[in-house]
Amino acid sequence: MDDWEKAGKIAAECLEYGLSLVSPGVNLMHLAVHIEKKIIQLGGKPAFPVNLSLNKVAAHYAPLMNDETEFKKGDMLKIDVGVHVNGCIGDTAATIGGNKKLIEASRKALEKTIPLCKPGTELREIGKVINETIESYGFKSIKNLSGHLISEYNLHAGFSIPNHNNNDSRKLQEGMIIAIEPFATDGNNGLISESVPSNIYLLENPRPVRDPTARKFLKYIKEEFGTLPFAARWLENKFGPLGFGLKILVKEGIVRSYPQLVESSQGIVSQAEHTIRVGKIPLVLTKR
Ligand code: MN
Ligand code: MN
């Protein structure tokens, strides 16, 4: 088993574990901490903070240390788990709760793309299948979110895998690692817009910083997370309350702060995602 296969297997197991912990009243911080612990127990590292996005939030929510957000009966929760083993990344997501038909729409759309993950398939063919499948359930595919090519230590390593036919005629090639992630919504728009901060960050532009706290954080971020996204909570674990250190890094353009992505007509959103190795026989690396 190579590191891609190991990372995929751990990601799948941790997603399954996360889903098993969800019941009304469960605290999202508790969920995130347990899933991330499991990743490490199984020999991986988080490739990004576990995303726990509720209802109209499609993606990019990571709880903070003192977060009291709970999963309530009727909520729709997306759990998106990323694991890396020596930089080889497994990225996988599923939705639990509320609207079963909406969950089934994104799950089925993902399932139908797997046989297409062969050399020569055009990217738009994948998008077309996703969009048509989701529409057949009476929902909308979110067109401005997409899957992505993955390479070592790089989650978004080139082209996007569209969630609709966007006319991209570039082709999949043997051995590529790709994440496919359909999002389905009952909203009218099928588009997300950027909302409030997510507590997820990325080192974008490392350069010297004057403030001593910010400098200390920057050193740790470089060493521990490098080019991969990280959670404010991980810095809190190491340094305690963050004060202004992280804010300074963001303000100076050294660290990027990700916004939460919310369906723009306030629709509820479901997501399904696998990491797949392209081949004559496609290999679903995150198969549960
Ligand atoms: Mn993901
Ligand atoms: Mn992804």
What is the enclosing helix (H) or strand (E) of 38? Answer: helix 28-41
Active site residue 91: yes
Q: What is the Cα–Cα distance from 260 to 253, expressed in whole angstroms?
A: 19
pLDDT for the residue numbered 242: 87
Find the ligand nearest to 180 CA. 2
Whole-number Å distance, alpha carbon 66 to ligand 2 midpoint, is: 27
Whole-number Å distance, alpha carbon 213 to ligand 1 midpoint, is: 31
The residue annotated as part of the active site, out of 36, 186, 263, 273, is: 273
Active site residue 68: no
pLDDT for the residue numbered 119: 98
pLDDT for the residue numbered 251: 97
CATH number of the structural domain 195-261: 1.10.10.10
Active site residue 80: yes
Q: Name residues whose C-beta falls within 8 Å of residue 94's C-beta, 6 or more positions apart in sequence.
A: 15, 19, 78, 79, 107, 271, 272, 273
Active site residue 263: no
Find the ligand nearest to 78 CA. 1
Q: Averaged in consecutive runs of 10 residues, what is the pLDDT profile of the chain (288 residues)?
A: 98 98 97 98 97 96 91 97 98 96 98 98 98 98 98 96 98 98 96 94 96 96 95 93 93 97 96 98 98
pLDDT for the residue numbered 23: 97
Q: What are the residues whose beta carbon lies below 5 Å from ligand 1 (ion)?
A: 80, 91, 93, 273
Whole-number Å distance, alpha carbon 246 to ligand 1 midpoint, is: 24
Whole-number Å distance, alpha carbon 148 to ligand 2 midpoint, is: 6
pTM check: above 0.95: yes
Active site residue 186: no
Distance set, CA 38 to CA 172, 185, 227 (Å): 33, 30, 22
- CATH class of domain segment(s) 3-192+266-284: alpha beta
The residue annotated as part of the active site, out of 13, 36, 91, 186, is: 91
Whole-number Å distance, alpha carbon 25 to ligand 2 midpoint, is: 27
Whole-number Å distance, alpha carbon 214 to ligand 2 midpoint, is: 29
Whole-number Å distance, alpha carbon 23 to ligand 2 midpoint, is: 25
pLDDT for the residue numbered 241: 87
pLDDT for the residue numbered 66: 85
pLDDT for the residue numbered 39: 98
Active site residue 273: yes
Domain edges within the chain: 3-192+266-284, 195-261
* DSSP symbols for 198-265: EEEEEE-S----SSHHHHHHHHHHHHHTTTS-EEHHHHHHHHSS-TTHHHHHHHTTSEEEEEEEEETT
